[in-house]
Amino acid sequence: MATVADLINRIERDFLFPVGAKPATGRLAATITNSATTVTYSSTYWTQEELNGIGTGVLIEINSELFRVITHDQDTRTITVATRGTVEGTDAAAHTAGDEIYLGKTPTRIAIFEAVSDAVVDLFPDFFSVTTGAYTSSDNYIEVPLVCEDVLQYIYKVTASDTSSTRYIPGRVELLEGFTPSSTTKAIQLHGVPSGRTGYLRYISSFSRPTAETYDLGTNGVTVEWHQLLILDALITLVAATDLDDARVSYLTDTLRAQVNPTGEGESVSRMLIRLYEYRRQRAMRRMNANHAMTVEMNQIAGP
């Protein structure tokens, strides 16, 4: 199982923050709820100058949540923060004792999360998942998920009996898109299939946008071989939007040169990222095309 959090950790560890360059941190002294407005840290690697800089209006980060500082008492190591869930679009969440508290971390974890989430959505239409779902035939339309992009096959039982010897045969199926009677705006209409038959629909599926770091990529159809594509796509976005310091530019350049062959002297980080992304994308697309035949339709109705 791999989650969005796993990819974020890899991006931070392998590309953005070389050893010794990750922002100095404090650690939570106690677990806090999603509504607590007091943060107490138990240990810190902040310098005195950095501690002095944690004042009104400064942003600190715990996991994927940003906090806006109201007051800071260095004697008790207590930071009072503004109302939770209102800072830079981040959601309020509970955090555990020992979690790291970052000051001046760029890019923020939420920025990396958003970049990875954009990359997941952007996989389609070049990449897709093939999903199978059980549907009972009906004379009416049958709702399907919003992520259903194209139908491949519908097979149903020859008879209405549910005995183990029942055979399945293909039926004609039509995908209805922008179909307002359906709550998802998508539905299928079966043609020539008797009502009440147990059947299975295979369809091409796009990918839902992750809503949390715990989003399970595998369960949602994103295969392991696409993880590197997601990482590179997110990095392209982050490098374009973030002013990286010289140490991290050098680290990222060395990391990419080890993966891109041949490399051009003086080639920019952005160019190397794009070139490596395109190389991996083409390779992944060839494998995808080899594993899945293209859908053939006649009059928008997929059939045998």
First to last CA, the chain: 35
Residue 267: pLDDT band by 50, 70, 90 thresholds?
A: low
Which tokens sit at 191? Answer: 């043609």
- Does 109 fall in a domain? no
- Does 252 fall in a domain? yes
- Does 298 fall in a domain? no
Same domain, 27 and 100: yes
Q: What is the C-alpha to C-alpha distance for residues 204 and 173, in angstroms, rounded to an integer?
A: 14
Which class for 244: exposed (0-12), middle (13-18), buried (19 or more C-beta within 10 A)?
middle
Same domain, 77 and 140: no
- Does 245 fall in a domain? yes
Same domain, 139 and 263: no
- Does 143 fall in a domain? yes
- More confident call, 163 vs 215: 215
On the question of pLDDT at 288 being above 90, the answer is no
Whether the predicted model's global pTM rises above the 0.95 cut? no
Q: How far is CA 28 from CA 37, 84, 145, in A?
A: 13, 16, 41
Helices (H), the chain: 4-11, 48-52, 109-122, 227-241, 246-257, 269-291
- The domain total for the chain is 3
Same domain, 80 and 64: yes
Same domain, 160 and 44: no
Domain region containing 183: 129-205
| Strands, E assignment, the chain | 25-28, 38-44, 59-62, 65-73, 78-81, 100-103, 129-136, 142-143, 148-157, 168-177, 186-191, 198-205, 297-298, 301-302
Which tokens sit at 301? Answer: 């109705």
- pLDDT value at residue 164: 66
> Any idea what the CATH number is for the domain that residue 42 is in?
2.40.30
Angle between helices 227-241 and 269-291 (to 10 degrees): 150
- Does 186 fall in a domain? yes
Same domain, 120 and 246: yes
Q: What is the pLDDT of residues 241-264, one digit of tens each?
A: 777 776 677 777 777 777 665 555
Rg (CA), the chain: 25
Residue 176: pLDDT band by 50, 70, 90 thresholds?
A: very high
Q: What is the pLDDT of residues 80-96, one digit of tens each?
A: 999 999 898 899 999 99
Nearest to 223 by CA among 293, 128, 150: 128
On the question of pLDDT at 265 being above 60, the answer is no
Nearest to 133 by CA among 221, 27, 192: 221
On the question of pLDDT at 279 being above 80, the answer is no
Percent of all residues in the chain with a pLDDT value above 70, rounded to a whole number: 88
